[in-house]
Homo-oligomer: A and B are copies of this chain.
Amino acid sequence: MEEQLKIAQQALATANEAKFIANNIWMLVATVLVFIMHLGFATLEAGFVRRKNVVNIIFKNLMIIAIGILSYCFIGFNLMYPGVEGGFIAFAGFGLSNPAGAAGLIDYNNGTYTYFTDFIFQGMFAATCCTIVSGAVAERIKLFPFLIFCLLFVTVSYPITGYWKWGTGWLDTLGFYDFAGSTLVHSVGGWGALAGAILLGSRNGKFTKSGIKPIPGHSMPLATIGVFLLWFGWFGFNGGSVLSADPAAVSLVFVTTTIAAAAGCIGAFLVSKIIYKSMDLSFALNGILGGLVGITASADGVSISSAFLIGFIAGCIIPISVSFFDKIKIDDPVGATSVHLVCGIWGTIAVAIFGQYNEGIGTLTAQLIGIAAIGVFTFIFSFAAFYVLKITVGIRVDLEEEIRGLDIGEHQTMAYS
């Protein structure tokens, strides 16, 4: 009798442990996938800039991940999830003198991953929002002021708006829904990008008296590697946002994410073919990213046919949006504002149209309030930060350096020799 009870209890404990281990593995695999998105951004942006600015953009992307991870560890994480452990400053794990303490934080019967897994997954996310900015301000921004902006952005701005929703703040209470961050990550990055691009002005030679001059990127293979790696990483970005390995939820997210990306590719292709009579590779590439950004807010709660429509529309938006920003003379070398800001807003609105959540979750009103509140906060924060940097240390390299290229100007080296 007692023996039987012991076996049953041991079985239950082991079963709970096995389930916890499986969930935690998935979150760690998702972390690794989100990590490689940083290589995706680096190669995408490097491919889309000119040869003379390649080292500079790569250097920026390296520094962003280093600064992003460390500052999120010191401040951002606890600012975004204040209830977790300790005060506002420093990821509590940072203060633990004995790492074995981490084990003590695990309760196999509750929760699906460890506290350290939580931090590292969120930390990889956080660093991506700066990388989005980096593409839009490429080929003309000074390195140091940009790094200071990044530090402020990932340490203060991103965690505050992130807290509003994912830290169970006021937007969460309101019913605003953003599954994996169409707004919280992508349009946040996009607003920062827009502020930077406005204050910097366009690259020399982009908007001339004789019209808008396309400035083609230096390596399409590099840009393509970037887009595929981003898609690859998005399986972790969206799939990990389930916050467990729940089979129904994660596999649904995989399907909606993939269908939206494929539909985005087709959408951008058709629109660019119809409007511009071209089969432009960069539109097709950005169409995939647009589809991915678009589905990010609702990947866990739409039908497959809705995922198709969300991605397809996002893809159609890309060529139109790129052309729009060109017309209002905002120069964005990689199309980051179109991909992350415009499609991020679209994806967040799409929650209200296609999302199948509980009553009061993701209503159009809640979504529009969330988009507006986070947009206004982030744009003002970014604009102010860039503006102060502009009037103090300056944010733009001089014309001579811009023409010569930032690789020589800032790094005394060249990308290829």
State the A residues within 8 Å of B (CB): 1, 4-5, 7-12, 14-26, 28-29, 31-33, 35-36, 38-39, 42-43, 46, 50-51, 54-55, 58-59, 62-63, 65-67, 69-70, 73, 91, 93-100, 102-103, 105-106, 113-117, 119-120, 123, 143, 216-222, 224-225, 228-229, 231-232, 235-236, 239, 245-252, 254-256, 258-259, 261-263, 265-266, 269, 278-281, 284-285, 288, 300-305, 308, 356, 410-417
Contact = CB atoms under 8 A, between A and B. Distances in A.
Contacts of A281: 55, 58-59, 62, 411, 413
A180 to B, nearest CB: 15
Contacts of A15: 11-12, 14-15, 17-18
Nearest to A26: B25
Contacts of A266: 66-67, 70
A225 B46 CA distance: 11
A105 B252 CA distance: 12
A235 B7 contact: no
Contact of A32 (B55, B70, B232): B232
B11 A417 contact: no
A248 B103 contact: yes
Contacts of A300: 99
Contacts of A65: 262, 265
B235 A70 contact: no
A269 B63 contact: yes
Given A4-B4, A102-B251, A251-B117, A308 B32 contact: no
A120 to B, nearest CB: 5
Contacts of A123: 258
Nearest to A143: B279
B248 A415 contact: no
A94 B305 contact: yes
A390 to B, nearest CB: 21
Given A93-B304, A220-B55, A262 B66 contact: yes
B14 A102 contact: no
A187 to B, nearest CB: 24
Nearest to A279: B411
A263 B247 CA distance: 36
A46 B221 contact: yes
Contact of A239 (B28, B91, B256, B263): B28
A236 B239 CA distance: 17
Given A19-B17, A113-B247, A231 B35 contact: yes
29 contacts: A7-B8, A7-B12, A8-B11, A21-B23, A22-B22, A24-B245, A28-B235, A29-B29, A31-B235, A32-B235, A39-B224, A39-B225, A46-B221, A55-B281, A59-B279, A62-B285, A62-B288, A66-B262, A66-B266, A69-B258, A70-B308, A97-B303, A98-B356, A99-B356, A116-B254, A117-B247, A117-B251, A143-B279, A220-B416
